[in-house]
């Protein structure tokens, strides 16, 4: 198809290989045309028509490439995205958007002046667990929400030798999993009034934070966001993925969306069972009754499909630039709160 937008993927580690490449390939309006990586054999196995490119600079200098996806270590996101915008490409950058609010604001301003679209890869907006909880809240099943709790936990008690855990810029669980938690909360409730946080390293020998407990303060409501590398994430022994309490009852969603595990196992959008979540939502009515509500089907492929439409026609991106900057503001406020042991009011200057 000659009318598909040609995308170059920069980085073919966990994020690029597991998430970006298959989800780009699942978007009818996109062609994964080139990948910046040294893993030439893996790229050939994915699709021999995809070019393997030696460097990001080589890719950005190629006028044949119309858009780029940045899936490199977090500390490089903003600089590569800026170079791509200056090269006239549309850009999607993995989370975190940037390492500071100032950096995020500058990148957003550059995107607006460049005439190209910049999006942040908040694929977890399309997870079964979040979609299920959002629908139940919007239907009024728990009434006015007073307490919202969102956990993204993993069980990795041993520190691994990788950049996400080595203490370098952009490492740590808050930069890794925090953007997902914050984006989902802000999509539901908007910007909070203030943020308080405790973000620490609890595993022996850990060079980066591996435990984050963040409270978003709203008028009449609190949203608790928690990420840990010290707890099971399958709902069997750890905390529920979501717990929502309102004046009419409660919602409990115990297990995490299955799409990451499916992608790692080689399943792709459109395959039988794709996105199907067997773990229901528990709806507690406040009088001791409980019913089970089937979980929504996860659909992370919708991110790139909507982005393809935005790049082709100028329609709205799946996550707006203003929303991406707002997520970065809360990420930074939490870091300030944890470092200075105080409540941080929003907006930040």
Q: Measure Cα distances from 171 to 162, 164, 183, 212 in Å.
A: 9, 4, 19, 13
Per-residue model confidence (pLDDT) at position 3 = 87
Looking at every residue in the chain, the average pLDDT score rounds to: 96
pLDDT band at 2 (very low <50, low <70, confident <90, very high): low
Q: CB of 55 within 8 A of CB of 35?
A: no
250-295 tens-digit pLDDT: 999 999 999 999 999 999 999 999 999 999 999 999 889 999 999 9
Report all structural domains of the chain as residue ranges with CATH numbers, in order of start.
5-121 (3.40.50.720), 125-298+332-340 (3.30.360.10)
- Model pTM score: 0.96
86-125 tens-digit pLDDT: 999 999 999 999 999 999 999 999 999 999 999 999 999 9
Q: Report how far residue 300's alpha carbon sits from residue 19's, in angstroms, rounded to the nearest whole number.
A: 9
Looking at the DSSP bridge assignments, the partners of residue 155 are 230
Q: Report how far residue 95's alpha carbon sits from residue 118's, in angstroms, rounded to the nearest whole number.
A: 12
Which of 128 and 161 is assigned the larger pLDDT? 128
194-215 tens-digit pLDDT: 999 999 999 999 999 999 999 9
């Amino acid at each position: 198809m000659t009318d598909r937008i040609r995308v170059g993927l920069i980085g073919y580690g966990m994020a690029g290989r597991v998430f970006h490449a298959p989800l780009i390939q699942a978007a009818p309006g996109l062609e994964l045309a080139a990948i910046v990586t040294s893993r030439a054999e893996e790229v050939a196995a994915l699709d021999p028509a995809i070019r393997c490119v030696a460097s990001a600079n080589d890719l950005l200098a190629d006028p044949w490439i119309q858009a780029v996806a940045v899936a490199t270590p977090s500390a490089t996101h903003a600089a590569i995205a800026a170079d791509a915008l200056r090269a006239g490409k549309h850009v999607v950058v993995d989370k975190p958007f940037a390492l500071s609010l100032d950096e995020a604001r500058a990148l957003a301003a550059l995107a607006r002046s460049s005439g190209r679209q910049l999006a942040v890869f908040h694929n977890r907006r399309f997870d079964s667990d979040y979609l299920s909880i959002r629908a139940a809240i919007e239907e009024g099943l728990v009434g006015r929400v007073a307490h919202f709790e969102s956990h993204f936990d993993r069980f990795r008690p041993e520190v691994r030798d990788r950049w996400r855990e080595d203490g370098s810029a952009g490492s740590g669980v808050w930069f890794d999993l925090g953007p997902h938690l914050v984006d989902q909360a802000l999509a539901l409730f908007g910007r909070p009034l203030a943020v308080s946080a405790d973000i620490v390293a609890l595993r022996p020998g850990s060079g980066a934070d591996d435990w984050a407990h963040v409270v978003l303060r709203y008028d009449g409501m609190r949203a608790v966001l928690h990420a840990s590398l010290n707890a099971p994430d399958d709902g069997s022994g750890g905390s529920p993925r979501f717990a929502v309490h309102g004046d009419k009852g409660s919602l409990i969603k115990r297990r995490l969306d299955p799409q990451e595990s499916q992608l790692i196992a080689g399943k792709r959008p459109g395959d039988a069972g794709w996105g199907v979540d067997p773990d229901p939502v528990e709806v507690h009515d406040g009088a001791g009754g409980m019913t089970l509500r089937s979980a929504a089907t996860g659909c992370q492929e919708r991110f790139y499909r909507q982005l393809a439409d935005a790049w082709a026609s100028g329609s709205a991106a799946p996550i707006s630039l203003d929303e991406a900057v707002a997520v970065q503001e809360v990420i930074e406020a939490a870091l300030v709160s944890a470092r200075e042991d105080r409540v941080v009011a929003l907006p930040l200057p």
